[in-house]
Amino acid sequence: MTIHREGYKSIAIATLIFGAINVPVYFFLSASVMWLCHIVFIVTLALLLFLISFFRIPNRLLTIKDGAVVAPADGKVVVIEETTDLEYFNDKRLQVSIFMSPANVHVNRNPIDGEVVYNQYHKGKYLVAWHPKSSTENERHSVVIQNGDTRILVKQIAGALAKRIINYLQVGQKVKQTEEMGFIKFGSRVDMLLPVGTKVHVELNQAVQGGVTIIATL
């Protein structure tokens, strides 16, 4: 396991805060209320370890397969339905959405090989990520990757806790399946808009792993 580069600053600041809290607590209170010092230490250490785990990148055997759409994120499948896309395609698409809890790995990965033909950031609200309108009203970053005649739109969507969406892609860039496309801090959701008729291999409420689980085949 490694730590994602997006976490270096956050972890450094959290470590300083951990020390700034515990050093004076032990210095002033250890002689009289050692039990309180232990509680403060355990609670702050647990929070620091949770933060570190949030930025983890586990060692995985990633799935590279032509014709497959690989999960762009860890989490739980919360939507599989046809929808009308008004942002890019202006027609019906098959939407598959993955909810990312704060405990999930938060690296986002390219679901297919291809070329980035659309990349757009949208300001918006911070509705809870499972809200039906979060796909169109929340802060989000949309990317369309084209491979041959196939185009897939991937939306990184902010939630009630997620306040920072990071996207590494640019229009015209050639991307590889499972390589990093971005990162969302502190829990959110990723939508994929696939061609209608795409064969889906996952079910609602199924847990998936980013870069590993095959969501669909084209």
**Which residues are the active-site residues?**
188
* Distant-in-sequence, close-in-space partners of 11: CB < 8 Å, separation ≥ 6: 3, 48, 51, 52, 55
Which of 13-17's residues contact partners 24+ apart within 8 Å by CB, and which partners? 14/47, 14/48, 14/51, 15/48, 17/44
Q: Phi and psi for 154 in degrees, rounded to 5?
A: -115, 125
Structure tokens that stand for 173 in this block: 């860039």
**CB neighbours of residue 95 within 10 Å:** 19
CA distance 176 to 179: 6
Burial of 80 (0-12, 13-18, 19+ CB in 10 A): middle
How far from 130 is each of 4, 98, 183, 207, CA to CA, in Å? Answer: 26, 9, 18, 15
CB-CB contact of 138 with 187 (8 Å): no
